[in-house]
A and B are shown apart, each in its own frame.
Chain A
Amino acid sequence: MGPLIVNEIISQNTNLFLAFIIGIGFGFVLEANGFSSSRRLAGMFYGYDTTVLKVFFTAAIVGAVGLLFMSLFKWIDLSYIYINPTYLWSTLGGGVIMGAGFILGGYCPGTSFCAASIGKLDALAFIGGMFIGIFIFAEGYPLWENFYNAKFLGAPLLSDYFGASRGLLTFLIILVALGMFWVGEWAEKKFAREDYKLNQ
């Protein structure tokens, strides 16, 4: 039966209304986990707070396993799920630039809106910068258009790439994530800071 909009079970306007409701859930969970705090987000990269790793990978696992279950029960048709295309150079290049933005700015786009909603002024500054960055990309587009479209590989799954099944890859990701959770818990003790209290 799902995705509802693709199978025309709901109207376009209902879809947009549900987007708003889903967004409320997204924003609420981000804020309740402290993704509205730049020092907490940046803590990931110094080991004193690895919440980002724990939340991010738990969510990715739940999402991946959830999709497999939904497909198994015929609640969702996986062939209608959007798969992000891979343009090798721009995926990597964009990621590198975003990584620099993350460590300098302390937020990513979603978390900056979430943080601004509770009054973080550094998040507002980040959002201002983000609009400038998108504007620069749009205005200078002819300069990087070739790089943007280079090395297009289609929309492969990582499991296709390794010749494994979706289920096996998901299982391996769960194992990797468990290992990373263990490292995260270890790092928070090893790199704890006196001027920063975890989870308060």
Chain B
Amino acid sequence: MKQKKYMNPYLGGTLLGLVLIVAFWVSGRGLGASGAAKSAIVAGVNTVAPTHVEKTAFYSDYLETHPNPLNEWLVFQMLGVIVGGFLSGAIAGRLKFKVEKSPKITNKTRLIFAVLGGVFFGFGSQLGRGCTSGSALTGMAVLSLSGFLSMAAIFGTAFALAYFARKLWI
């Protein structure tokens, strides 16, 4: 099956903005992603090592306010993201197992840097209280100071480091 083209980005942005507004209208909060990953980590650690969780402030504080971490808004929203992404990919003929990278590097190099990038992003999203979705996009839509700071820091740093990481992409 021939792959379909991507959507016009301005139409796509408008649709994403409308999804964001519906999220505000329903829940009073916007979209997010890293919060769901945090819920999964807390739930996982709590299952494997409950006594360790009791002794560790970060987990026990979270469990106090979120007694059932997998029953969270963002967890259901992220499950939806996986379904929605799959549906779009299926309709457009883009379902395929592959490692995406610059032709100049090996799959192994790409995967090592993907894990490393994930570690940074995961850590940073906790320190910054949200990622590109929850802190930057949603934060900017509500005009919060932290949303603009977060956006500037994320994109500014990525631009500043782009030269050093160029072999990974171009």
**Chain A interface (Cβ < 8 Å from any Cβ of B):** 2-6, 10, 15-34, 36-39, 42-46, 48, 51, 54-64, 66-67, 70, 75-76, 80-88, 90-123, 125-139, 141-142, 144-145, 147-148, 153, 155-161, 166, 169-170, 173, 181, 193, 195, 199-200
Q: Inside 8 A of A55's CB, which chain B residues have their CB?
A: 9, 12-13, 16
Q: Contact between A109 and B132 (Cβ–Cβ < 8 Å)? A: yes
Q: Is the CB of A33 within 8 A of B121?
A: no
Nearest 7 A/B pairs, CB to CB: A105-B117, A23-B80, A94-B128, A129-B118, A58-B13, A95-B153, A62-B17
Contact among B16, B24, B96, B98 with A67 in the assembled complex (CB-CB below 8 Å): B24
State whether A132 touches B118 (Cβ < 8 A): yes
The A-B contact count (CB < 8 A) is 542
Query: A91 with B128: in contact, given A58-B10, A63-B20, A63-B141 (CB under 8 Å)?
Result: yes
Given the complex, which residues of A lie within 8 Å of B42, measured CB to CB?
A: 138
Chain A interface secondary structure, helix, strand, loop or mixed?
Answer: helix
Contact B150 A56 (CB under 8 A): no
| CB <8 Å contact, B169 and A46 | yes
- Interface residues in B101-139 (C-beta closer than 8 Å to A): 101-103, 110-111, 113-139
Q: Is the CB of B26 within 8 A of A18?
A: yes
Choose one: A10, A51, A137; the contact of B127 (CB below 8 Å): A137
Chain A neighbourhood of B66, CB < 8 A: none
- Residue in B71, B82, B100, B135 whose beta carbon sits within 8 Å of that of A27 in the complex: B82
Contact A104 B168 (CB under 8 A): yes
Using an 8 Å CB-CB cutoff, how does the interface string of B1-25 with A read, 1 for contact, 0 for none? Answer: 0010111011011111111111111
Contacts of B23 in A (CB 8 A): 22
A28 to B110, CA, bound (A): 26
**If the complex has contacts A3-B25, A84-B129, A122-B111, are A131 and B122 also in contact, measured as CB distance less than 8 A?**
yes
| Among B22, B85, B158, residue most surrounded by chain A Cβ atoms (within 10 Å) | B85
Q: Verify A30–B34 contact, CB threshold 8 A.
A: no
The answer, yes or no, to whether B30 is at the interface (CB within 8 Å) is yes
Q: Check if B115 sits within 8 Å of A70, measured CB to CB.
A: no
From A80, A86, A122, A130, residue with most partner B Cβ within 10 Å: A130
Q: List A contacts of B14 (CB < 8 A).
A: 58-59, 62
In the complex, how many angstroms separate the beta carbon of A132 from the nearest chain B beta carbon? 5
Report the minimum CB–CB distance from B167 to chain A (whole Å).
11
Contact B121 A109 (CB under 8 A): yes
Q: Contacting A110 at CB < 8 Å: which of B7, B132, B150, B157?
A: B132
Q: Please indicate the chain A residues that have their CB under 8 angstroms from the CB of B69 in the complex.
A: none
- A125 and chain B: residue at smallest CB distance: B114
User: Within the assembled complex, what's the spacing in Å between the Cα atoms of A141 and B166?
Assistant: 33
Q: Which of B42-76 contact A (CB under 8 A)?
A: 42, 45, 56-59, 71, 73-74, 76
When distances are taken between beta carbons in the complex, the residues of chain B under 8 Å from A170 are: 143
Question: Cα distance A117–B96 when bound, in Å?
Answer: 10
Contacts of B126 in A (CB 8 A): 94, 133-134, 137-138
Contact of B117 among A22, A27, A106 (CB under 8 A): A106
The interface residues of chain A lying within 8 Å CB-to-CB of B12 are 29, 32-33, 51, 54-55, 58
Distance from B170 Cβ to chain A, minimum over Cβ atoms (Å): 5
**Assembly CA distance A92 to B86 (angstroms):** 33
* B155 and A119 form a contact (CB under 8 A): no
Task: Tell me whether A130 and B20 are in contact (CB under 8 A).
Answer: no
Q: Which residues of B contact A37 (CB under 8 A)?
A: 100
A98 touches B131 (CB 8 A): yes
